Amino acid sequence: MLLLKTRADLERLVEEGLQESLTLEYKASSALQKTSEARAELVKDVTAFANSAGGQIIYGISERKGGIPQGIDAGVDAKTFSPEWLGQVIETNSAPRIQGLQIETIVLSQGNPTLVAYVLSIPAAVTFAPHQNSIDMKYYRRFESRSVPMHDYEIRDVLRRGKSPELSVNFLFADGGGKTKDHRHADEVIEIEAAMQNLSPEPALYSLFEFYFQSELIIVETGAFRKIDPNLILEPFALHRLQKSFITPPDFPMLKGSSVTVGPPRIAIRIPRDYFGKPHYFAIGYSASTVGFSQVKYAGLLMNEGALTISDFFTVDEAARKLAELKAPAVAS
């Protein structure tokens, strides 16, 4: 979670242009209303975060196209919309009640302390997952920067939290640990850090991970992973497969809150010279399996204007549509 306590913290988000994501959403102060529609939207967003990876909703920052923060607005009237009112609306319309929700009040002007911003920090639900929006009787989850209804199989997956391990992977660029980096040289070797996690209190004693990279990418280093043949086919892509297992003993079990990375050496790739300087995207992804749990997700490695970006992950069912969407900017260029 981001540490957001003061107006200066919010201004830094705006200055840095931190984009909305799976775990962050900006809301204008005017989004808080006492209408049934506005209350339903509030509960939908909060339950969606709880049913996913958790995250933060900030009321008091307007956004422009693409989920980029535009600026701090006039603020929420704390006399009309108090933290207690917010908590009550969420608590009485979420089933079961969300555990660990925190509401931070940030005064925007010392001259008028009733005008505030609210930061709602929502942990990922485990024991009491999933949470239903009692107003419209639906379950929601986060997809990229949106709250969307859950499918039946997704509800079943969330119900398993706390009963079996829940593995996930986060891909980052090794030089700085972020999802965006400069790419100025055709022969540059790009190191990928893969953080493997268990989101459930149930320890994972036996885990199998496979990482996928579009076959056009050149695998320079596999790290501690083993390259598996043949390539995986995700129409219209062929994907390199790198595999690693963790077995207890001798490996230490994957516990909740732990993050396992492998290396150095880390996984390293290179983009062929033919693609350098041209807008393009490459499919990447992972599968994670353990007793009672299996998950496959994909993302895009986007190359444009001298920079590389790793997109948010999406499911197999969403892969064809999302990869086509990611391709669109490159085609337009």
DSSP state of 39: H
* 323: enclosing H helix or E strand: helix 316-332
pTM above 0.75, yes or no: no
Q: How would you classify the pairing of strands 55-59 and 24-27?
A: parallel
Reply yes or no on whether the pLDDT at 152 is more than 60.
Answer: yes
pLDDT tens for 36-53 read: 999 999 999 999 999 988
Q: Quick one: the chain helix, strand, coil %, rounded to 5?
A: 20, 45, 35
Average pLDDT over residues 1-14: 90
**pLDDT attached to residue 333:** 32
Are residues 160 and 166 in contact, defined by beta-carbon separation less than 8 angstroms?
A: yes
More confident residue, 125 or 90: 90
pLDDT tens for 254-305 read: 998 788 988 788 999 999 999 888 888 899 999 999 877 888 899 999 988 8
Domains and CATH numbers, the chain: 7-159 (3.30.950.30), 167-332 (2.60.40.10)
**pLDDT attached to residue 166:** 86
More confident residue, 82 or 330: 82
Q: Dmax of the chain from CA atoms? A: 66
More confident residue, 53 or 34: 34
Reply yes or no on whether the pLDDT at 329 is more than 60.
Answer: no
What are the counts of helices (DSSP H) followed by strands (DSSP E) for the chain? 5, 24
Per the rule left: phi > 0, alpha: psi between -120 and 50, beta: everything else, 91 is alpha
More confident residue, 322 or 82: 82
